[in-house]
A = this chain, B = another copy of it.
Amino acid sequence: MRIDYHNHMAQRSRYTDEILRVVSDAGRPVSVDEIRDALRESGVGTATVYRVVNNCVEGGKLKKVELPNAAARFEPADLPHHHHFECDSCRKVYDVPGCAQGVADLAPEGFEVSQHEILLKGTCPECQEASV
């Protein structure tokens, strides 16, 4: 009786715990590069970080935040529904709590909406400070 037949690497990487901790501690969605940077002393390879985070997404521990023209970010899967802000200056992505009203209702008749994304862009507080 094999329950996790296709879920090969599930929970088995030696890096999983530390990667989950990095993502959780970041307080904002982080990229594979940021994760790898945080773990640089371990010597972990990029491909492994990709494999681990993808595995965690499949396993319901992480959520992938996909953005136009930018590396995907990863965040804990258990956060309540929210959206994101991408800083045009430092490219960091921040959480935006809440949601706008009637978003899904925007779709014209006949379109079946299964999910929606709202992405705000502009300048984060730090980069506003830096430019003064």
In the bound assembly, the distance between CA atoms of A97 and B105 in angstroms comes to: 11
Q: Which of B110, B111, B123 contacts A111 (CB 8 A)?
A: B123
In the bound assembly, the distance between CA atoms of A108 and B113 in angstroms comes to: 27
Determine whether the beta carbon of A100 is less than 8 Å from that of B100.
yes
Note all chain B residues with C-beta closer than 8 A to A88: 114
In the bound assembly, the distance between CA atoms of A102 and B83 in angstroms comes to: 13
Note all chain B residues with C-beta closer than 8 A to A121: 113-117
Q: Choose, from A9-17, A38-46, A65-73, the stretch at the interface.
A: A65-73
Sample of 18 further A-B pairs with CB below 8 A, known A83-B106, A103-B120:
A66-B69, A68-B72, A88-B114, A94-B108, A96-B107, A106-B120, A107-B122, A110-B125, A111-B120, A112-B123, A112-B128, A113-B120, A113-B121, A113-B122, A116-B118, A116-B120, A117-B119, A119-B119
